[in-house]
Amino acid sequence: MSTKLSLFLCLLYMLSPALRAQTVDRKASTETKNLYENLRRLSGRAVLFGHQDDMAYGVGWKYEEGRSDLKELSGEYPAVFGWDLARLERNESTNLDGVPFNNMKEYIRQAYALGAVNTFSWHMDNPLNGKTAWDTTSLVTVKEMLPGGQVHKKYRNWLDQFAAFNNALKGNDGKQIPILFRPFHEHSGSWFWWGKKECTSAEYRDVWRFTIYYLRDVKQLHNLLYVFNPSDFTTEAEYLERYPGNDYVDVLSFDSYQYGPISNGEAFRNGLALKLKIQDSLAKRYHKISAIGEMGYVEIPDPNWWSEVVWKGIENHTPAFLLVWRNAGYRPQEKDNHYYAPYKGQNSAEDFLKMYRERKFLLQKGAAFLNLYAKPKY
C-alpha cells in the first residue's frame, strides 16, 4: 500500500460524518456493525469495485486455484465478491451458474480473509410451481408465500436451508462472516416472479419484512446486512414504491446495465447520474449505505467506458461499492461473450487500469487497508 493511497484513504475517514446509524439487526455481530458503518462512511467518498463469481471462473478458465481475471489484470482481487444462491432451495450441489456450493463457501472465506466484502443474490425458483426465477405466469406467488399461504411452509424451509448455509460461513478467526444479502432484486421490473406486475406493493413489502423477521429473529442470524435493490426508476416516489421501511433495510442499491451500441453510453451515463442522485439523497436522509448492486455492459466494447461513462455517471454521488456481473466467457446458447469485468487484452482494460491507478476504483488491497470489519477510527 503506497503512502499516497494511505493518506488518501485516511482523509476519506476524517471527512466522514460523526453520526452513527443503527443496523436493521440490533444484535448484529461486531464485525457486521463495523462493516455497515465503514461502508456507510464510504458512500460519496470512495468506490469499492466488485465482481460476480470472480474466483470461480473467468474468460477461458474455470475453478483454477488462485485465478481471477481482475487479479491477472491489476494484481489485485476485487474489493467486493458477488455470489448467487439459486438452487440452494433445490438441495442441489451447484448453483444455477454451475458453481459448487462447497467451493463457494471456500471462496467466501478467502474473500473475508483478504479483507474484502461478500454479497448474496438469490434467483430462487418460483415456490408455487417449481419453475425458475424468470417464471412470471403466476400473479399470486408472493401472496401465497406469506403466513397462511399455501407455500408459506415451503418458503420457511427454504429460509432454513439458507440459514444452514450461512451458519457454515466462518473465517479463520472463528467468527461468522458478514454478508450483504440482496433478496428479491430488480423488483421494479417484471422479469422475475416477485416483480412489479407479479405482486402488489404491499405483498412485496410484506414478504421482505417476513424474510428479515424469520432470518434475524427466528433463525438468529446476526451477520447479515439487508440490501434493497430496484432496477429502473426516475423519481424518489418510484424508488420508494415497494420500500419496506428503514427498520428493514441497511443498504440502498439498484441494478443498471448498458445495452446496444457504444453511442448509448451518454444516455446510460445520464441515467446512472440521476439514479445515484435520488438514491444518495435518500441514503443521507435515512443514514443508509448507497451502492450499485449490479451493473455492466456485456463485452465492454467501448474502450473508454470506465472513465467516460461509468465514472462520469457516478462521480458526483459515488456509491460505497459497485459490482459488475460475471465473466462466463462464450455462451453458445446466447451467441455472445458473456463478460462484464475487463481482463488482460480486453478492449477496455487500459481504461480500467487508469481508473484503478487514479484511485477512482478501490480493489482488495484498498478494502484491506480500510479494515472494514474493525471499529471505524474516525
Q: In this predicted structure, which of 41-45, 136-140, 225-229 has the lowest mean pLDDT?
A: 41-45
**pTM of this structure:** 0.94
* Domain assignment present for 283: yes
* Domain assignment present for 377: no
C-alpha cell at 7: 493518506
Q: How far is CA 278 from CA 24, 226, 267, in A?
A: 22, 19, 17
* Domain assignment present for 42: yes
* Domain assignment present for 376: no
Residues 6+ apart with CB under 8 A from 212: 24, 226, 244, 248
Instruction: Give the pLDDT confidence score for residue 6 in this predicted structure.
Output: 57
Are 59 and 339 a contacting pair, CB within 8 Å?
Answer: yes
Note the pLDDT tens digit of each residue in 234-284: 999 999 999 999 999 999 999 999 999 999 999 999 999 999 999 999 999
Instruction: Give the pLDDT confidence score for residue 336 in this predicted structure.
Output: 73
Residues 6+ apart with CB under 8 A from 361: 47, 48, 49, 306, 352, 355
Query: Could you tell me how far CA 190 lies from the centroid of its own chain?
Result: 20
The region, left, alpha or beta by phi > 0 then psi within -120 to 50, assigned to residue 296 is left
Are 187 and 194 a contacting pair, CB within 8 Å?
Answer: yes
Instruction: Give the pLDDT confidence score for residue 289 in this predicted structure.
Output: 97
Q: How many CB atoms lie within 10 A of CB 111?
A: 25
Position 63 confidence tier, pLDDT thresholds 50, 70, 90 = very high
Q: How far is CA 358 from CA 4, 46, 177, 275, 355, in A?
A: 11, 12, 30, 24, 5
Lookup result for grid cell 415456490: 127
* Domain assignment present for 92: yes
CATH assignment at residue 317? 3.20.20.80
C-alpha cell at 33: 456493525
pLDDT(142) > 60: yes
Look up the domain containing 197 and give its range. Answer: 3-370
Query: Nearest CA to 254 among 179, 182, 342?
Result: 182
* Domain assignment present for 73: yes
* Domain assignment present for 33: yes
The region, left, alpha or beta by phi > 0 then psi within -120 to 50, assigned to residue 234 is alpha
Give the three-state DSSP class for 71. Answer: helix
Query: Hey, what amino acid is at 18?
Result: A
| Number of folded domains that form the chain | 1
Instruction: Give the DSSP letter of residue 178.
Output: P
